[in-house]
């Protein structure tokens, strides 16, 4: 077996699984700050109950995020040693900063969040919630800085050392705020807020359908819906500006996203389709002529660089990028529709009476998860064949000492453990949701759950 292919498979598997959890932590972290803030302001017991319930869920999600996250920190070294040697000077510092500024903050204060209810004053607890929320957001900042540098390297120069060629930092701030950092960060954070918001909406809607915890659920939906509408609408802005940046910095990726082959012609925007890469055609597609040119340049007739402008070995796989991108956009639109519809019905006073909409809400939790995964697939597969855009190819980046058998063994082990983890996660999540929020009287000191 080819260790390069297997290493790519393993990275894809482990990062995709890991990324199920951090977006929920980030979005739910923000909602916890809002809920606990309202509780401290109003002293309304309902918000206390909500905070307690969602803190427990947060703890579970966070635990899975940590358990799967440790792998990510070390996998650059284990499977991508040539990459690590090449980028360590630049990429490593962002990763280390993530540890110092984000992980310590998150995991430290989470202890107070989960176990400190009876040990610290309410204000201190609230402060800890804010710190955990900050920590979750900071970790997104640093990891996206690191990843954005791979997409649009800046602030570095290439040096030949005794051990080989590598990138070294010239300007830390340019590296930090490389051309795609801010667009991609805002896009990913909004995606995370959506993940948290629709998660709360989904569970709360299920309670309403079952006729349980009515007030708790209604209030939950209201708070989360506001965030869901905001974050979903913001995706139009951040998504658009990400795409414009891609058009400027990674034209091959943009061309693959819309299967735009012609070297230098006006570009269309597809609603959907199936790309035949050999024939350079889109089958079964519906397109809006010139729309991509319009989105990029504000003019439907202006040309956009197509895939044929790049040597064949510098083009990403087209159909998979095309599909991932289009399904992500479609899901994003659906989420806007659902959340805005919810808002309108809330305003009309009908939100909690329409059962089919509540069922839609229950399943809406999948939307941001699917869109987040597909968004990353677009970004990462669209960058191929480069691991660091324009500087280092993925095929040259992996660990030369690895054999296929070693990587296959670890993939099988990861597969087994992650399968188990996922089953346990769903089982415990379900149990916590079935159990529902605790009423104050039952949570006495010394009571063993």
Q: Which of residues 81-110 bind other proteins (CB under 8 A)?
A: 81-82, 84-85, 87-93, 95-101, 103-105, 107-110
Residues 6+ apart with CB under 8 A from 431: none
The residue (of 177 and 230) whose beta carbon lies closer to other proteins is 177
| 13 contributes a contact to other proteins by CB under 8 A | no
Gap between the Cα atoms of 234 and 226, Å rounded? 12
**Rule CB under 8 A: which of 47-66 touch other proteins?**
60, 63, 66
The site string for other proteins over 105-134 (x = CB under 8 A, - otherwise) reads: x-xxxxxx-xxxxxxx----------x---
Q: How big, in percent rounded to 5, are the helix, strand and coil portions of the chain?
A: 75, 10, 20
Residue 67 interacting with other proteins (CB under 8 A): yes
Nearest-CA neighbor of 297 among 275, 320, 265?
265
Tracing tokens 């894809």 back to the chain, one arrives at 12
DSSP state, 170? S
Question: Binding of other proteins at residue 417 (CB under 8 A)?
Answer: yes
Smaller CB separation from other proteins, 80 or 325: 80
∠ at Cα 222 (219, 227), nearest 5°? 130
Q: Does 408 bind other proteins (CB under 8 A)?
A: no
37/77 with CB nearer other proteins: 77
Out of 37, 77, 385, 404, the residue judged to bind other proteins by CB under 8 A: 77
**Which CB atom, from 359 or from 416, has the smaller least distance to other proteins?**
416
The tokens 């482990």 sit on which residue? 14
Q: Which is nearer to other proteins, 1 or 288 (CB)?
A: 1
Q: What angle do CA 197, 202, 205 make, to 5 degrees?
A: 120
List beta partners, residue 282. 275
Q: HSE of 274 in the Cβ direction (CA atoms, 13 Å)?
A: 2
Task: Select from 338, 237, 324 the least CA-distant residue to 272.
Answer: 324
For other proteins, the closer CB: 75 or 323: 75
- Closest by alpha carbon to 19, among 78, 93, 72, 97? 72
> Given the rule CB under 8 A, which of 71-79, 207-215, 251-259, 335-343 is the region that contacts other proteins?
71-79
User: What track of x and - describes contact with other proteins for positions 366 through 385 (by CB under 8 A)?
Assistant: --------------------
| Smallest gap from residue 302 Cβ to other proteins (A) | 41
Binding mask 15-34 for other proteins (x = CB under 8 A): --------------------
Query: Closest distance between other proteins and the C-beta of residue 57, in Å?
Result: 13
Name the token pair of 404.
Answer: 């296929």
Q: Does 138 bind other proteins (CB under 8 A)?
A: no
Nearer to other proteins, 159 or 286 (CB): 159
In whole angstroms, how close is the CB of 168 to other proteins at the nearest point? 4
Report the nearest approach of other proteins to the CB of residue 342 (Å). 33
Please, which of residues 140-199 interact with other proteins by CB under 8 A?
159, 162-163, 166, 168-170, 172
Neighbouring-strand partners of residue 186: none
| CA–CA gap between residue 164 and residue 162 (Å, rounded) | 6
Do the bridges between strand 303-305 and strand 264-266 make them parallel or antiparallel, or are there none, so unpaired? antiparallel
**H or E element in which residue 388 lies:** strand 386-388
């Amino acid at each position: 077996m080819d260790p390069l292919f297997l290493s790519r498979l393993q990275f894809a598997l482990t990062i995709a699984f890991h990324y199920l959890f951090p977006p929920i932590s980030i979005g739910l972290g923000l909602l916890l700050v809002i809920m606990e803030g309202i509780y401290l302001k109003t002293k309304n017991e309902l918000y206390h109950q909500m905070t307690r319930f969602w803190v427990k869920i947060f703890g579970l999600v966070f635990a899975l995020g940590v358990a799967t996250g440790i792998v990510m920190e070390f996998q650059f070294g284990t499977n991508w040693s040539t990459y690590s040697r090449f980028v360590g000077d630049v990429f490593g510092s962002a990763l280390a900063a993530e540890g110092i500024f984000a992980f310590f903050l998150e995991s430290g204060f989470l202890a107070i969040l989960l176990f400190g209810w009876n040990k610290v004053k309410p204000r201190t607890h609230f402060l800890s919630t804010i710190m955990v929320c900050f920590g979750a957001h900071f970790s997104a900042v640093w990891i996206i800085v690191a990843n954005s540098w791979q997409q649009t390297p800046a602030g570095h120069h290439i040096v030949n050392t005794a051990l080989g060629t590598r990138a070294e930092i010239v300007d830390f701030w340019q590296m930090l705020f490389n051309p795609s950092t801010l667009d991609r960060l805002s896009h990913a954070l909004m995606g995370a807020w959506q993940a948290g918001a629709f998660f709360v909406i989904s569970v709360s809607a299920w309670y309403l359908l079952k006729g349980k915890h009515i007030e708790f659920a209604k209030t939950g939906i209201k708070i989360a819906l506001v965030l869901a509408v905001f974050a979903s609408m913001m995706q139009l802005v951040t998504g658009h500006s990400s795409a414009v940046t891609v058009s400027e910095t990674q034209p091959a990726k943009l061309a693959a996203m819309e299967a735009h082959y012609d070297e230098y012609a006006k570009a269309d925007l597809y609603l959907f389709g199936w790309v035949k890469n050999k024939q350079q055609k889109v089958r079964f597609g519906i397109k809006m002529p010139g729309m991509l040119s319009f989105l990029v340049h504000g003019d439907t007739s202006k040309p956009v660089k197509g895939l044929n402008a790049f040597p064949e070995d510098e083009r990403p796989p087209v159909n998979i990028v095309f599909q991932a991108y289009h399904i992500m956009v479609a899901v994003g639109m659906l989420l806007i529709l659902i959340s805005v519809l919810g808002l309108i019905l809330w305003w009309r006073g009908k939100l909690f009476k329409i059962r089919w909409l509540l069922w839609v809400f229950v399943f809406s939790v999948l939307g941001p998860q699917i869109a987040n995964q597909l968004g990353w697939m677009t970004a990462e597969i669209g960058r191929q064949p480069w691991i660091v855009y324009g500087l280092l190819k993925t095929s040259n980046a992996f660990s030369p000492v690895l054999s296929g058998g070693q990587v296959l063994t670890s993939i099988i082990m990861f597969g087994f453990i992650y399968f188990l983890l996922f089953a346990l996660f769903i089982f415990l999540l379900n149990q916590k949701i079935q159990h529902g929020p605790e009423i104050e009287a039952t949570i006495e000191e010394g009571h063993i759950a």
